[in-house]
Amino acid sequence: MTERKRILTGIRPTGALHLGHYAGALENWVRLQHDYETYFLIADYQVSDYADDIKRVRDAVWEVALDWLSVGLDPEGSSFVIESLVPEHTELATWLGWFLPVAMLERNPTLKAEMAAMEEPEEGQERKPVPVAFYTYPVMQVSNILLPRAHLVPVGEDQLPHIELTRETARRFNHRFKEVFPEPEALVGRVARLVGTDGNAKMSKSRGNTIDLKDDAATVSRKVKRMYAGPPRELDEPGNVQDNPIFLYLDAFDPDTDAVAGLKDDYGKSGVPNKVLKDRLTQVLNDRLDPFRERRAYYEARMPLVRESLEAGTNRMRIIARETMEMARDALDLNYLGKY
Ligand code: ATP
Ligand code: MG
């Protein structure tokens, strides 16, 4: 049998996962998990913006693992990894930092936007100084991807600059030393960036504009009722489909595409009350989430199984991590003690 190619991807343990994670990333992970050797990382080194709330991070490690199990990731066929329990991540990141010009971080649009949001927050949000570890988190991500020598990285659109950085680093390293790292490809999900329930461009844990994978039916219904649905309209007033993000959600999650096309048509011609759209969306989302809720309940009643999946996956990553570090040290010719 030929060796399977590898996937590395991950999520920060900052809270419960939401529909954006699902449509942007998790759905691909579930689909590809058996075709590749897969490593799913809980990236706890990369939450320095939550340094004042370690309890949240600790709880979120379990939240994320439960969410992964609930969407159908298989903890035996794939590996769930806790980043900081594989210290080779920091070791490799330190070496790789030698070959990454600071200018490449300064140019990184995702990092720039995230740092700006911390330093000059929107009204009502707290200003946070940017920790050193936040500034260098893309380097850690490069290390995350290169450590298992991954070929494919399924992620949401905002991660693309980090993957470009990874490709550049792999190219530089391989060219200067030895061919150690495959140049990984990015794979963006069906919905590159799902909007938030408030109409903001990105549904995000940090903004509190999410519908979570673990939300119960009543919570989904309540959140959908409060969703932004475009500029105010009379009940029977025609509207612009593009102005109403409810349609983005129907496009993303409603399996009956003909019915959605019909609704769009009516909406533009004779107007469709937002309540009709929202009731439909509530139903569609609850149908999607029901199987997740069932699996989640199964694992919530068996938390030692969740712990085992984290432990086993982390141990599998440690083996490949040591192997890669040997290759990298050999390529860098760092065997100091072998001299005498
Ligand atoms: P935070 O706001 O704490 O950064 P996040 O919601 O951005 O959280 P991450 O852990 O940073 O979550 O991202 C995990 C993965 O999910 C990444 O691949 C990211 O691109 C993807 N993702 C997150 N939010 C969305 C979204 N709204 N639409 C599509 N993909 C998303
Ligand atoms: Mg993020």
Tens of pLDDT, residues 76-124: 999 999 999 999 999 999 999 999 999 999 999 999 999 999 999 988 8
Binned at pLDDT 50, 70 and 90, residue 236 comes out as confident
Least confident of 47-61, 64-78, 112-126, 210-224: 112-126
The residue-averaged pLDDT of 277-295 equals 98
Is residue 60 lining ligand 1, measured as CB closer than 6 Å?
Answer: no
Residue 65 has pLDDT above 90, yes or no: yes
Binned at pLDDT 50, 70 and 90, residue 2 comes out as low
Q: What residue's CA is closest to ligand 1, atom 18?
A: 155
Binned at pLDDT 50, 70 and 90, residue 1 comes out as low
Best substitution site from 56, 111, 125, 158 to test ligand 1's pocket, by max atoms within 8 Å of Cβ? 158
Separation CA 9–CA 225 (nearest Å): 33
CA–centroid distance, residue 20 to ligand 1 (Å): 7
What does the domain layout of the chain look like in residue ranges? 6-195+303-338, 215-296
CA–centroid distance, residue 27 to ligand 1 (Å): 13
The residue-averaged pLDDT of 321-332 equals 97
CATH architecture of 6-195+303-338: 3-Layer(aba) Sandwich (3.40)
Residue 40 has pLDDT above 60, yes or no: yes
pLDDT at 303 (0 to 100): 98
Binned at pLDDT 50, 70 and 90, residue 338 comes out as confident
CA–centroid distance, residue 11 to ligand 2 (Å): 8
Domain 215-296 -> CATH class: mainly alpha
Contact 61, 13 (CB under 8 A): yes
pLDDT at 108 (0 to 100): 97
Is residue 114 lining ligand 1, measured as CB closer than 6 Å?
Answer: no
Q: Give the CB-side neighbour count of residue 34, counting CA atoms within 13 A.
A: 4
Residue 147 has pLDDT above 70, yes or no: yes
Q: What residue's CA is closest to ligand 1, atom 21?
A: 156
Identity of the residue numbered 234: E
